[in-house]
Structure 1
Amino acid sequence: EDIDIELRELPQNSNVITEVLEGRAQFGVANAEILISYVNGAPVVVLAPIFQSSPAALVSRAERGIYGPQDIAGKIIEINAKKSGAVEVLTMLNLEGVKPSQYQVTETSLSLNKLLNNQTDACEIYLTNEPYFLEKFG
């Protein structure tokens, strides 16, 4: 049977789950944020996983001496608290025994500038595209 699909880019500062729940989209591609919405009572359904593991990660400059989660203690990390990547990264730190009291979180600038300009020790990134930009900018 024929399926008519229109692919649209999510407007900046929009939330895919909100777009679906408010009827502006019938389907959306989401991440772990959908689990938070479900737990909070949103009538959402996960149809299929796209990633086998989270693409959210922390990256730092080599001279910061961060080689594993425990090295985050005493450091400043830049995280986008409005996106689920933050939940995934913070959960990873917690599972590795690194408690929130051991590091400082600063809100993201939505760019890699703070990391590149040595204004933060580590930055939350999305593994599918941001390593490319880091390599490009040195």
Structure 2
Amino acid sequence: MKTSFIRLATVCAVSFSAVAFAAGPTPEPVALQLKWFHQFQFAGYYAALEQGYYAAEGLQVEIRERDPKQDFVDQVVSGQAEYGVGDSGLIAHYAAGKPVVALAAIFQHDALALFSKQSSGILSPYEMAGKRIMFDLAGDNNAQVRALLAEANLDESRFQKVAQSFSNDDLIRNKVDVMAGYVTDQPSCCGRKASNST
């Protein structure tokens, strides 16, 4: 009886080891912090996840959308995420001494743009003097907006800064004159909301 139990235990242990070995090593959990909300801009990351490319490399990837209350670069620097999607604003973070490294340039053109209502008469940054401009004020994530405004000779004394609320309603309801957003989704979102509110 005792010999049968030992044989059974040995067979189970060998079988379990074979199954564990066949399954391979445990995937490494990795968080990818996005700089914006889930949308088409990040389709390549979603496709790689769904098609198993990360898993094939031994990674268990969690793709996290932007938390408006946090600086997405600081989330990576602090260790809340291992990797992040950034933009040219990373240069300001690097210059400030933050330990960031650019691994690849995925997009050649930034999707960030400034939007205004057609009825406002604002066609370029040169018409934004004295206007309420809503953009991301967290950290240095607004380098593109600041550079655009500086090119139009608009320092912070010549317009009203409004913290990004991430709500299209602020532009539609005239709470702001200009709003930063992405060309990949903002025009269609604003168009739908505007037509639904009339």
TM range (shorter): 0.7 to 0.9
Shift of 1:79: 1.7
Shift of 1:72: 0.5
Shift of 1:83: 5.9
Report the RMSD for the aligned CA atoms in angstroms.
Answer: 2.0
Corresponding letter in the other structure for 1:64: S
Partner residue of 1:73?
A: 129
Partner residue of 2:62?
A: 7
2:113 match: secondary structure: strand
1:7 match: secondary structure: strand
Matching of residue 112 in structure 1 with residue 174 in structure 2:
no
For 2:115 and 2:91, how far apart are their aligned partners in 1?
25
Name structure 1 gaps, 5 residues minimum: none
Change (3 A) 1:16 1:90: closer
For 2:147 and 2:162, how far apart are their aligned partners in 1?
17
Partner residue of 1:48?
A: 104
Deviating 4+ runs (over 4 angstroms) = none
Partner residue of 1:28?
A: 84
Partner residue of 1:19?
A: 75
Corresponding letter in the other structure for 2:105: P
Corresponding letter in the other structure for 1:9: R
Shift of 1:63: 1.2
How many residues end up aligned between the 2 structures? 137
Corresponding letter in the other structure for 2:150: N
The worse-fitting range, judged by mean Cα deviation, of 32-41 and 22-31 is 22-31
Higher helix share: 2
Change (3 A) 1:114 1:23: closer
**What is the percent sequence identity of the aligned residues?**
27
Q: Which is bigger in relative contact order (C-alpha 8 A, separation at least 6)?
A: 1
Change (3 A) 1:63 1:87: same
Partner residue of 2:118?
A: 62
For 2:91 and 2:152, how far apart are their aligned partners in 1?
21
For 1:127 and 1:83, how far apart are their aligned partners in 2?
22
TM-score by structure 1 length?
Answer: 0.84
